[in-house]
Amino acid sequence: MVYIIRLKNISKAYGGGKVRAVDNLNLTVPPGEIFGFLGPNGAGKTTTIKIMTGILSPDTGEVELCGVDLLKEPLRAKRKFGYVPDTSEIFPRLSGLEFLNFVADVYEVPAKLREERIRPLLKLFSLEGAINDRIGSYSHGMKQKLLVIASLVHDPDIWILDEPMTGLDPESSFNLKKLMQDYAARGKTVFFSTHILEVAEKLCTTLGIIKKGKLIFTGTMEDLKTQKQEDKSLEELFLELVRS
Amino acid sequence: MRKTLQLIKVLLAVRPFSYYRQNPKEFLKALGFIVLILFSLSGLFSMNVVFYKNLFQALKPVNLESTVLALGAVNTVLIILALGVIAILSGYYYDGAEYLLALPLKGRELLGAKILVNYFYHLPIAVLFFGIPAGVYGYFGGEGFLYWITAIFNLFLLPVLPLTLVFAFFVLIFRSFSFAGKKDFLMYLGGVIGLGAAVLIQKFSNTVQLAEKNPGVLVAKFSDPNLINLKLYKIYLPALLTVKSLTGEDVTIKAFSLGANIIFSLGLLALGLYTLGWAYEKSLKVGAEGGGGRRRVKGELTFTPKPVFISNLLREIRLMNREPVYFLNGPLVIIIIPFVFGISFYFQGIAGLSEIKKFLGNKALENYFLAGLLSLGVFLAAATNITSTAISREAKELYYLKSLPVSEKTWLLGKLAHGYVFGIIASFFAVAGAYFLGVSGFKAWFILPAVLLSALPVLAAGLLLDLKRPYLNWDHPQKAFKQNLNATVGIFLPFMQIGLYWLFLLKFKLSFWPCTVGFAGLSFLIGLGVLFYTLKDAQSSFLKLEV
């Protein structure tokens, strides 16, 4: 089977090895999936995502994105994904457009193509009127939407989003979910972390649940119900899993 | 009061001593920071000691030595008023004011915490500008124990009223007008006032020189009742009470003056808190409403591609120049320092300038002018602190940058290029200085490449320093600069480098051209070495950076 994301034996500890944020994590995601990464606060979701995006280096393990080893060929691997971080506090003194052009320059997206990709997204997220304003003057939701647009400027194969729904208004949240579905329908992969279990239940084709740095479940919603032999909501099953 | 003290603890990030016992590294850092602050104030300290000692000795024969105390008290108040304005302009609002406004805190508690935090910041000014004259008066006047105790009381009292007055003034303005959307404007305004304060200190420095040369002029100047400082002394009651409590005819007058000073200063502070607390709270609410419009960057919706290096360089320049704290302490320094030199000439009068110009025809001295300008250029290039704070300024944004497909070397070279953009401006200033002093042609333009080559080790070392030990955990951009030791070390490095150059030039009497060409060439080679080392280790250093 072809995997677009492969994490092998990933471990990461903080505080001189005292706190194991990620503990021997193995994970594979095939193309065309919407993978929901769930877990309680401090479970290791963001650390895993930061390792996947080359922000943190793992203590042990391998990360492969679209068949490219992130640790050996970081620049090639980083071209394969677009990333929406969990914090939207970014470059407050740049205008929205300056930021988008900077990201597009980094990915070497030609002028025509960047315009074709950015304009419809600005319209979709109602950011056209504010795009020449400084990012520092944006609301949290506006910054979040800007980061979403920036992550798609090079049309990556993998779209990694860390808590993307935080701060979004209902319409933007709906648009983002639709965008994720359209993206996966094009055979691309969406990997996102969330605390909103209803979103994960309705949107994700595959779920991964992490607890204390260990992956305690991967599979579909149906797999989870079969495993637990109960016809409960994801919220109830999730709570049972993380409490056990 | 209890809530005010808790707020102060949060604002000053006060840590118990046990914290430092458990974190000796933090203790050493805090200690190093204090030593650096003391070192940077040592020049002003010694200048003050010399000035007040000379003034005391000049005025004692005519029984006017208490003028030393009067001047000290008035100067302290004036400087705290000026610096207080700057501090308030940049820190009137609370970070997270919206959250604080939702807590059961009274306006007077919020205002009290702000005033007291500023009080702690301004206390060293009182030590420098009142402590020294009081010390000089006590030591050379052979004063007893009671004098010293009273002087300490007065020293602690002096900053209270000027800070209360400045806050009262700004509370009344900010209560009616929201400046929350104009924080940048306030910062720049503070910078301009700071420049004014620098000019006043320069004027004071020239007065010190005057005092050393001619004590007679001192007596005439400071025994003149029309002197503005002495006029202020007579109308500013706390200054008058301060001096009376130290020089009064008998103990009763001294005790009465001290008691009156305490009641007057603290009474007005309490009155200010009780009458203006609500207004301060209202001004925070006005501020929390925001400034209305958004800061718009001019331009159409254009999508023009640029090479990654240029795009990143532009990002660096924009982020630094649009943040007032960075701009005022960084790139603007290149303009401010020559400006302060100009002011210095102005206060010394045309005589000072003509003395220099007398030597301009002298070919032997011309080389020393060139050496001085080269040194100035290198210092200006480093004084912007662009490279020595380059990583710290990014802070949390580093996470995002690290996820982008750009090599660490490209990020670092972009930061070095940013430093050099302003290094070029510094070198042009040095060339302009040469023309101003009458040196032209090849000799003047030689300074330009010499500065650029010689600046490489300091710029590269600043970058290496900030890459290895960045200050990333800050909650206000100011801290990436002002609480970053790398910025201070980055300014000291060129001093060492320039010191070595002058050592060879003056002590070992090397000829100008071989010495200067050798200095620039060797500096460049050392700089290349530092840069090579920085880039070689860039990837692993970047990965280690965690906020």
Judge if B282 and B363 occupy the same domain. no
**Long-range Cβ contact pairs of B520-525 (< 8 A, separation 24 or more):** B520/B374, B520/B449, B520/B450, B520/B453, B520/B454, B521/B453, B523/B453, B523/B454, B523/B455, B523/B456, B523/B457, B523/B497, B524/B453, B524/B454, B524/B456, B524/B457
Q: Nearest CB to A106: which of B298, B396, B404?
A: B404
Question: Does the pLDDT of residue A93 top 60, yes or no?
Answer: yes
Domain A5-80+157-243 adopts which CATH fold?
Rossmann fold (3.40.50)
Nearest one of B312, B313, B318 to B299, comparing CA atoms: B318
Phi, psi of B25 (to 5 degrees): -65, -40
Residues B372 and B513 both lie in one domain: yes
B296, A132: Cβ pair inside 8 Å? yes
Residue A164 and residue A145: Cα distance in Å, rounded? 9
Extract long-range pairs of B59-64: CB within 8 Å, 24+ residues apart. Answer: B59/B218, B59/B219, B59/B222, B59/B223, B60/B140, B62/B219, B62/B223, B64/B219, B64/B222, B64/B223
Positions in chain B whose pLDDT score sits under 70: 12-16, 40, 96, 177-183, 201-202, 204-215, 217-219, 221-223, 225-226, 228-229, 288-299, 343-364, 547
pLDDT at B205: 66
Q: Is B244 found in the same domain as B338?
A: no
* B307: chain A residues, CB-CB within 8 Å: 105
- Residue B306 contacts A, CB cutoff 8 Å: yes
The answer to whether the Cα torsion of B131, B136, B139, B144 is positive or negative is: negative
Determine the distance in angstroms separating the CA of A84 from the nearest CA of chain B, rounded to an integer.
9
Alpha carbon separation from B178 to B88, B102, B172, B287, B296 (Å, rounded)? 14, 19, 11, 5, 19
Distance CA(A85)–CA(A105), nearest Å, equals: 19
Residues B364 and B453 in one domain: yes
pLDDT per position as a tens digit, A138-193: 988 999 999 999 999 999 999 999 999 888 889 999 999 999 999 999 999 999 99
Which chain A residues are within 8 Å of B319, Cβ to Cβ?
91, 93-94
Rounded-to-integer distance, Cα B403 and Cα B424, Å: 32
- Rounded to two decimals, the pTM is 0.77
Question: Please, which residues bridge with residue A12 across strands?
Answer: A22
Q: For residue A161, what pLDDT is reported? A: 96
3-state secondary structure of B206: helix
| Phi, psi values for residue B153, rounded to 5° | -55, -45
Question: For the segment B175-184, what is each residue's pLDDT rounded down to a tens digit?
Answer: 776 665 666 7
**For position B358, what pLDDT does the model report?**
64
Is residue B305 assigned to a domain? no
Tell me the per-residue pLDDT of A182-227, one tens digit each, with 9 for 90 and over: 999 999 999 999 988 888 888 999 999 999 899 988 988 888 777 7
Name every chain A residue with its beta carbon within 8 A of the beta carbon of B400: 83, 85, 90
Q: Supply φ then ψ for residue B427, to 5 degrees.
A: -70, -35
C-alpha distances in angstroms, B255 versus B15, B146, B246? 37, 10, 9
Residues facing A210 on adjacent strands: A215
pLDDT of residue B374: 92
Whether residue B246 is found in the same domain as residue B379: no
Q: Does B294 touch chain A (CB under 8 A)?
A: yes
What pairing do the DSSP bridges indicate for beta strands A189-193 and A34-38?
A: parallel
- Measured distance CA(B399)–CA(A49) in Å, rounded: 11
Residue B22 in domain? no
How many residues appear in chain A? 244
Q: What does the pLDDT read at residue A64?
A: 95
- CA–CA separation, B88 vs A168, rounded Å? 35
Q: Are residues B55 and B183 in the same domain?
A: yes
Instruction: State how far residue A189 is from chain B, nearest Cα, in angstroms.
Output: 18
Residues 50-89 of A with CB under 8 A from B: 50, 53-57, 74-76, 78-79, 83, 85, 87, 89
Question: What tokens were used for A173?
Answer: 């949240």
Round to whole Å and give the CA distance between B478 and B393: 9
Q: What is the pLDDT of residue B159?
A: 93
Task: Give how many domains chain B has, as a whole number.
Answer: 2
Indicate whether B108 belongs to any domain: yes
Q: Could you tell me if B299 lies within 8 Å of chain A, comparing CB atoms?
A: yes
Domain match, B250 and B145 both = yes
Chain A residues lying within 8 Å of B302, measured CB to CB: 97, 101
Question: B141 with B256, same domain?
Answer: yes
How confident is the model at residue B292, as a pLDDT? 47
Q: Does A9 touch chain B (CB under 8 A)?
A: no
Question: Kind and range of the H or E element at B263?
Answer: helix B251-288
End-to-end CA distance of chain B: 35
Question: B197 vs chain A: nearest CA distance in angstroms?
Answer: 29
Contact at CB, B405 and A95, closer than 8 angstroms: no
Q: Where are the domains of chain A?
A: 5-80+157-243, 93-155
Query: Under an 8 A CB cutoff, do B315 and A76 touch?
Result: no
Q: Which of B392, B399, B420 shows the shortest CA–CA distance to B487?
A: B392
- Per-residue pLDDT band at A80 (split at 50, 70, 90): very high
Cα separation, A140 vs A90, whole angstroms = 11
* Residue whose pair of structure tokens reads 């704290």 in the numeric block: B325
Which residue segment(s) compose the domain that B182 sits in?
45-287
Is B402 within 8 Å of A54 when comparing Cβ atoms?
A: yes
